[in-house]
Structure 1
Amino acid sequence: MSTANQIWLYDTTLRDGAQQEGISLSVEDKLRIAQKLDEMGIPFIEGGWPGANPKDVQFFWQLKEQPLTQAEVVAFCFTRRPNILAAEDKMLQAILAAGTRWVTIVGKSWDLHVTEGLKTSLEENLNMIRDTIAYLRSQGRRVIYDAEHWFDGYKHNPDYAMQCLKMARDAGAEWLVFCDTNGGTLPHEISQVVKEVVRSLLEDSATIPQLGIHPHNDGGTAVANAIAAVLEGATMVQGTINGYGERCGNANLCTLIPNLQLKLGYRCLEDWQLAQLTATSRLVSEVVNMAPNDRAPFVGRSAFAHKGGLHVSAVQRNPITYEHIEPELVGNERRILISEQSGLSNVLSKARSFGIELDKQDATCQHILERLKTLENEGYQFEAAEASFELLMREALGQRSEMFQVKGFQVHCDMLKWTDMPYSNALATIKVVVKGEEILEAAEGNGPVSALDNALRKALAKFYPEIANFHLTDYKVRILDGSSGTAAKTRVLVESSNGKERWTTVGVSTNILDASYQAVIEGIEYGLLLKSTAKTAVTSI
């Protein structure tokens, strides 16, 4: 990659991102994410704070045995403590022991934090910055200086904030990074401050160090703030995958990278690496055990999803009518949704994605559309359950073979309260006809849906052994008419997987067990359809 117009990406998912509420990463989790980021071409990966906890120490040691192929792993810490020498600070010894070539040092820029937080003098804070960076440089380390609370500090006391920045530069920091730590600065303020800082640095020297930006998202402007800084000369952007981070998160690299590269012409990644962005986003969300944001720009499942009939018709003629980039550039895909707002264009396009070619003049198309709208009026939702819609479509075309027939089922539940933790047990009995043979089976589960699912699998396993690989990955219940109380109509969405693909089916009824039964039955049927036709599922994992 040419260095001209290049932006250096710095990922802090493993430290700053891991500080998000609800996220806890094991050493194995951190290694898996680091390897994926390395594969995608991220130049700097901040691994954590060696010495702050045993997990981070182990992570850096593991990377010595399993080094990354191209990324620089960065250790993170604060400046030395007040009134001691950097060489005597045990915290810095742990940083050196991590063995990274690069170290990011965070120093105070806001005089309020120096006097109120560190409880030291403004002069000593300058000494801490100088001594820490100079010591690390003497030990052969390269230093990135993160100026914490930079914008608040600059607005409150610009002279002192600039002293801190120039002290870091003079001590040997190769990067000076402006941190919007509170996340409350707006893009026009970022532009103005960065421009003034560049002017001030040039007054001292004909050249200035490389500049970076580390914005938080408390005002919802982290990505815009990063872009504003880049336009004023910053060449490093620090952020996290999916915008994870403390409070409202950090700048979302999954949004920032495509905007910089595809919209503004900067070079962040090779094109083939940029095409891994969606897969990386989803892998990281899986590892941190957070549901993906379907409406995330560029990488969300809905980012290139089209629902309205007019939109679908236009996109099929020319995608740029309703898409600002080609989804394949970031590894995403176009999706045509099916709902009561659909027209024939939606049905034709969705059929094509299933490998079914339909003629617009065919009366079956209109029948499918009318059936769709009737069912959605009853509470079904097919835009979130495309597997059920494919089964509906195949039934209308006479292509839905009966793999099994459920004759009936019963579910019995017990609530056992003889311990401090009440235990719910369910027993399901089901009668199924498969290939002319009637099967009666029973199974237990930790709830009625689990028991029903287990009983059905048990009945079918002899005829369809591949069912052993099927499992439920998600189960959602939605009350459709809350005013009816416990008699309300219920919609159930069940997501299933065979370990390689995942698909979603839907059921609707005033009886939650009946709605669940519909979704579970269709989930198994669709999984068998995938196997029998060796086709690609609606949604790949």
Structure 2
Amino acid sequence: MFANPAQKYIPFKPFTADFAERTWPSRRITTPPIWMSTDLRDGNQSLIEPMSVDRKIRFFDQLIKIGFKEIEVGFPSASQTDFDFVRKLIDENRIPDDVTIIVLTQAREDLISRTVESAAGAKQAIVHLYSACAPAFRKIVFNMTCDEIKNLAVSSTHIIKKTMAKYPKTEWHYEYSPEVFSTTEPEFALDVSNAVAEAWGATPDNKIILNLPATIEATTPNMYADQIEWMHTHLDRRDSIVLSVHPHNDRGTAVAAAELAVMAGADRVEGCLFGSGERTGNVDLVTLALNLYTQGVHPGLDFSDIDEVRRCVEYCNQLPVHPRHPYVGDLVFTAFSGSHQDAIKKGFAQQKADQPWEVPYLPIDPADLGRSYDAVIRVNSQSGKGGVSYLLEQEHGLVLPRRLQIEFSRAIQRHTDETGREVTASDVFDIFNSEYLTQRTPWSLVRHRIEGDPAAGEGRHFAITADVMHEGDKRTVTGVGDGAISAFVDAMALPVRIMDYHEHAIGTGTDTRAACYVEVRLGDSATGFGVGIDRDIVTASFQALLSAINRHAKNGVESDPQAIESETTPA
């Protein structure tokens, strides 16, 4: 890199003195701006392979479905494909009555004529003229003075008015952009804009759209907002002007620039879905709109099926949307981090349908965008108990006690460390099944019978006879206790202490099953859980107890009562 960037890059200073009159920092956006999609023009120009007519039709229809009322459909003087597309929209009556199309032109009479001709016959259309005004363009590209640049914009406006008059059946409107406004001296941009508005004859009933583009994003968003507010307060015919902005994303701050520009007085925003456009793209209208939505302001655009919008844009642009793209990316509602998963799980548990959205880490309800909750929590080596237990609960109805969540998360951690990959919800259940539900060695339950036994002594009212398998051998055991589980523990004749017990139903009606979770200490070993699932709650609890005993045995803890007795009885 250049050793001293201060000598190579001179920051653009929009004002000779600080703009102390700014008021935008204290404002809030309470209503959406006018939205203008330039996907079919600016976005299309930037594609490796520009859209075919069929793709443009599909994209146009999607923009209509979303709710755009102003759509820039092409640069008809620059491309026969664009000209034919505009004519197709008009001739085939594809434009709804409440939608206005926009066609772009440079400041040349032959190009203006071709552009107006392309849109003739539409119910309403906007002709959008642009001419570059920035010093570098005046000097390097056009070799023109400020007066020559201004005269070109004014004379082109007169030509547009004259050409529009040839097609009186169309309701014509006019938009002018002092291109590269972002690096144009504000005083000169104001002079040109006022002259163009006068040439158009702008009135409150015949407004001109004045578009102030950050053609090259060259300053911080607050400086762009200062430029917009300065123009907003200094324009001669402000009540006859729709003030528009067209931020590009060269610095990666187009969304912030657009939001601050609206706070600074802009009425309208031009951009593309998901930020398509030259270089780093135009401002992303989806992000802007949904940012408003999360602040309680309906944007007037419908993204309730955002995946459909993404699929359309990816197909038409032949470019992917990044998986981390705000609101729409495959992973933006996905949490891998254990602490994030735990917070989201708790948030979902408390969130009520009729209450304001308040789920940690999720600034918007995925359901509002047509996204499901299925992929909100996914598990990899960074995940913890919250995510794992959430997947089991969502997919299989298993509500794990907290200590079991912690214990099972270690099994998941071992798996992800060994494989180095993400585990799916299906993987999680398979691991849970292997770790707890299919633990049938050395002990398994064959059948049992429970009877009340009042003569068994105080507090020991249940008697059990059970057939169990141990290492392939069938044994019949008996025991008594003050409950079914304590009677079964007595029958097993093992030094078992039950430290915790939980149960709940899975499903409803005739399909209901019981899930039991038992935390057990066998002898002096550390505690460990067992899990059982059965249509009968008692059977499920016995299976859970044997699951815990078997897991202890798997870890080397003696679980044969005969062996334990021989070890503790003197020879």
Normalised to the residue count of structure 2, the TM-score between the two structures is 0.60
The residue that corresponds to 2:308 in the other structure is: 279
Deviation, structure 1 residue 8: 1.3
Specify which of 76, 80, 91 is matched with residue 50 of structure 1. Answer: 76
Q: 2:73 is paired with a residue of what secondary structure?
A: strand
| Per-residue Cα deviation, 1:450-500 (whole angstroms, up to 9, x for no partner) | xxxxxxxxxxxxxxxxxxxxxxxxxxxxxxxxxxxxxxxxxxxxxxxxxxx
* Contact 1:281–1:299 (Cα < 8 Å) also in 2: yes
Q: 1:285 is paired with a residue of what secondary structure?
A: helix
Judging changes above 3 Å, is the alpha-carbon distance between structure 1 residues 109 and 396 closer, same or farther for their aligned structure 2 residues?
same
The residue that corresponds to 1:360 in the other structure is: 400
Specify which of 122, 127, 130 is matched with residue 107 of structure 1. Answer: 130
The residue that corresponds to 2:141 in the other structure is: 117
Q: Give the share of equivalent positions with the same residue, in percent.
A: 22
Judging changes above 3 Å, is the alpha-carbon distance between structure 1 residues 78 and 63 closer, same or farther for their aligned structure 2 residues?
closer
User: Where do residues 89-488 of structure 1 align in structure 2 (5 Å cutoff)?
Assistant: 90-97=113-120, 99=122, 101-110=124-133, 112=135, 113-114=137-138, 116-118=140-142, 121-135=148-162, 137-138=164-165, 139=167, 140-155=171-186, 157-158=188-189, 160-164=191-195, 166-167=197-198, 170=201, 174-201=208-235, 204-205=236-237, 207-263=239-295, 265-269=296-300, 273-318=302-347, 319-334=358-373, 335-354=376-395, 356-361=396-401, 369-382=409-422
The residue that corresponds to 2:94 in the other structure is: 67
Judging changes above 3 Å, is the alpha-carbon distance between structure 1 residues 58 and 190 closer, same or farther for their aligned structure 2 residues?
same
**Are residues 1:11 and 2:41 paired?**
no
What is the CA–CA distance in structure 2 between the aligned matches of 1:255 and 1:381, rounded to whole Å?
31
Judging changes above 3 Å, is the alpha-carbon distance between structure 1 residues 165 and 154 closer, same or farther for their aligned structure 2 residues?
farther
* Contact 1:110–1:156 (Cα < 8 Å) also in 2: no
Deviation, structure 1 residue 58: 2.9
**Which residue type is aligned with residue 101 of structure 1?**
Q
Structure 1: runs of 5 or more not aligned: 400-541
**Which residue type is aligned with residue 103 of structure 2?**
F
| Per-residue Cα deviation, 1:130-181 (whole angstroms, up to 9, x for no partner) | 2144235534412222331122223483554444553465366531111110
Deviation, structure 1 residue 341: 2.4
What is the CA–CA distance in structure 2 between the aligned matches of 1:245 and 1:170, rounded to whole Å?
32
Specify which of 37, 40, 45 is matched with residue 66 of structure 2. Answer: 40
The residue that corresponds to 2:496 in the other structure is: none
| Per-residue Cα deviation, 1:64-114 (whole angstroms, up to 9, x for no partner) | 325144662523222441xx5x7x954335434474622241322515435
Deviates more, 1:240-249 or 1:181-190: 181-190
Q: 1:144 is paired with a residue of what secondary structure?
A: strand
* Contact 1:175–1:212 (Cα < 8 Å) also in 2: yes
What is the CA–CA distance in structure 2 between the aligned matches of 1:310 and 1:348, rounded to whole Å?
13
Normalised to the residue count of structure 1, the TM-score between the two structures is 0.63
Q: 1:245 is paired with a residue of what secondary structure?
A: coil
Equivalent residues, number: 385
Structure 2: runs of 5 or more not aligned: 1-29, 348-357, 439-571
The alignment yields a C-alpha RMSD, in angstroms, of 3.2
* Contact 2:53–2:85 (Cα < 8 Å) also in 1: yes
Deviation, structure 1 residue 396: 6.3
**Which residue type is aligned with residue 304 of structure 2?**
A
Looking at CA atoms only, which structure, 1 or 2, has the larger radius of gyration?
2
Deviation, structure 1 residue 251: 0.2
Judging changes above 3 Å, is the alpha-carbon distance between structure 1 residues 93 and 162 closer, same or farther for their aligned structure 2 residues?
closer
Deviation, structure 1 residue 239: 0.7
Deviation, structure 1 residue 184: 1.7
Judging changes above 3 Å, is the alpha-carbon distance between structure 1 residues 7 and 221 closer, same or farther for their aligned structure 2 residues?
same
Deviation, structure 1 residue 381: 1.5
**Which residue type is aligned with residue 282 of structure 2?**
N
